[in-house]
Structure 1
Amino acid sequence: MYSNSVMNYNLKHIARLCQIDCPLVFHAGRHTYATEITLGHGVPLETVSKMLGHSQIETTQIYAKVTDDKINADTRILDERIAERFSVVI
C-alpha cells in the first residue's frame, strides 16, 4: 500500500499533466467517497465506517453531513410509511 504522501505526490503530477488548476489530495477522494458515493446513496454509517477502516464510528460521523436531498428523500419515505398505516378521512 502506498503512503499518503506518495499518493498526494502522484495526484499532483496527474493534475499538472491534465492542466488541473486546483489542489488534489488523496483525503479529498476519501471524503467524496464517504459523503457522496456511500452515505449519499443510503449506505448505513456503520458499513461506511468499516469500508473506510475506521476503528471508531465517531471518526466516520465527521463525514455524515445531512444534505437537503437526503432530508427530502427520508421525509418522503416516512410519509409513505405513515400513509400505509393510517388513513385520513376528510
Structure 2
Amino acid sequence: MAPPACAAWKAPAKSSDGQIAPYSGDTDIFIYPGYQWRCVDALITNFHLPESTLLMLVSSFVGYDTIMHAYQRAVAERYAFSAMVMPCC
C-alpha cells in the first residue's frame, strides 16, 4: 500500500506534464521499480520489510539495487531497523 500522501497525488497527476488536476474517485495504485513519478520528487521513510509493497515504493525512487545495498550495509553495521530513516530523492 502506498503512503496516503503519495496515493493522494498519483491519480490527479496523470497528465504527462505533472500538473495536478481536480480528482474524485477511486484509484488502483501499485508503485514499483520503473514507475515514472510525475509530481513527487522526494520521499522520507524508514526501512521496510524485505519483499513488502512499501519496499517497492522506495525502490521506485532510488532503484532496487541501491535499496538492497543499503540493507546489506545496515545488517552488517547492526542498525536498528525500526529507528532508521532513509531520505529518497
What TM-score do you get using the length of structure 1 for normalisation? 0.30
Q: Which has the larger radius of gyration?
A: 1
The structure where strand makes up a greater share of residues is 2
Structure with greater contact order relative to length (CA < 8 Å, sep ≥ 6): 2
